[in-house]
């Protein structure tokens, strides 16, 4: 029963639960706690999948006629029978496949993302201007454009984005500098630097890898979109604390249609409407945040206590009784 329970929990946490959580509206008022809950759900899904495989593997060592654990394939088949033994082996193989896919996904996502960012960083360093190389462009906005790692692109379209990493960059276009006031530029740059400071890109990488590791028929495609929105809300909150909601809202609308490369975290994008409406809505809720943190702890602790302890006890009885 432990193996079946772990399997059901893994399926629920990788499909239906993320789908329901993605449709909820309360995370807009508790984005940080919602991200923690999302991380707990993803981690619990992975742990449950591996626990199901381990529980299945433990069933392959069923007690034989002499009461000792079976240790060979023939003795396992003799005790379990071909159908049950085949089912156990297939489930265990599926668990190993998910583990291998998870490792491969983490490596592939990390390498591909950093390669794209390095290439684009080289491009913006070549074609973009810094504060030191283009002081005349910064003369109209001296205070907002202060800081290292800023690159200004000679592009008419308003856009702003950041390239996370060890050599991070904040990129803003001439169109944004011409269209935005000082406090709006401050808001949009504070937004991007909040992404860099909190390393929101690592959160996205984790969810991208977990999403790719699970088979398509059980995973929820909405998880990545929901987490992308939440990290934008966290950066928005950092900008609001600096400039207030109105300058940020104006800057987001101005940069909404800006095109940004893959691997970058942009101020605008398809979630702009939702984020601007949120800026004029109700503030963040401490009560919702507290409830989300409790739910995140429960998602990790309850399955472990309720499901792991029984089969660990069974393993101890099997091998040490």
pLDDT value of residue 72 = 66
Distance between CA atoms of residues 12 and 41, nearest Å = 10
pLDDT value of residue 321 = 56
pLDDT value of residue 74 = 67
1 CB burial (10 A radius; 0-12, 13-18, 19+): exposed
The DSSP call for residue 162 is: E
Distance between CA atoms of residues 210 and 205, nearest Å = 9
Rg of the chain taking only CA atoms, in angstroms:
25
Predicted TM-score (pTM) above 0.75: yes
Distance between CA atoms of residues 135 and 131, nearest Å = 6
CA-CA-CA-CA torsion sign (134, 137, 143, 148):
negative
pLDDT value of residue 19 = 85
Distance between CA atoms of residues 221 and 212, nearest Å = 10
Distance between CA atoms of residues 39 and 200, nearest Å = 13
The DSSP call for residue 63 is: B
CB-based contact 151:124 (threshold 8 Å)? yes
pLDDT under 70 in the chain at which residues? 1-2, 61-80, 131-148, 215, 217-221, 306-321
pLDDT value of residue 248 = 95
Structure tokens at 18: 């993320």
CB-based contact 78:66 (threshold 8 Å)? no
Range of the domain at 29: 2-320
Distance between CA atoms of residues 312 and 46, nearest Å = 18
Whats the size of the chain, residue-wise? 321
Domain count, the chain: 1
């Amino acid at each position: 029963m432990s193996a079946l329970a772990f399997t059901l929990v893994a399926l629920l946490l990788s499909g239906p639960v993320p789908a329901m959580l993605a449709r909820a509206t309360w995370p807009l008022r508790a984005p940080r706690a919602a991200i923690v809950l999302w991380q707990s759900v993803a981690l619990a899904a992975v742990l449950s999948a591996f626990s199901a495989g381990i529980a299945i593997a433990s069933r392959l060592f069923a007690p034989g006629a002499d009461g000792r654990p079976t240790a060979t394939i023939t003795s396992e088949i003799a005790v379990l029978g071909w159908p049950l033994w085949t089912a156990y082996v297939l489930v265990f193989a599926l668990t190993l496949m998910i583990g291998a896919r998870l490792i491969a996904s983490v490596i592939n996502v990390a390498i591909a993302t950093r390669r794209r960012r390095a290439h684009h960083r080289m491009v913006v360093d070549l074609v973009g201007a810094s504060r030191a190389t283009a002081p005349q462009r910064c003369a109209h906005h001296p205070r907002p454009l202060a800081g290292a790692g800023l690159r200004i692109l000679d592009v008419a379209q308003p856009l702003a984005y950041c390239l996370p990493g060890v050599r991070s960059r904040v990129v803003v276009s001439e169109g944004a500098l011409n269209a935005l006031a000082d406090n709006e530029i401050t808001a949009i740059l504070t937004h991007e630097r909040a992404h860099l400071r909190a390393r929101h890109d690592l959160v996205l990488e984790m969810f991208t890898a977990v999403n790719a590791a699970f088979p398509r028929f059980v995973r929820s495609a909405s998880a990545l979109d929901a987490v992308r929105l939440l990290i934008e809300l966290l950066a928005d909150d950092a900008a609001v604390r600096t400039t207030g909601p109105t300058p940020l809202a104006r800057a987001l609308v101005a940069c909404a249609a800006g095109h940004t490369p893959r691997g970058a975290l942009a101020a605008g994008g398809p979630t702009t409407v939702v984020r601007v409406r949120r800026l004029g809505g109700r503030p963040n809720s401490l009560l919702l945040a507290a409830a989300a943190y409790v739910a995140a702890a429960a998602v990790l602790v309850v399955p472990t206590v309720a499901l792991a302890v029984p089969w660990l006890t069974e393993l101890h009885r099997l091998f040490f009784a």
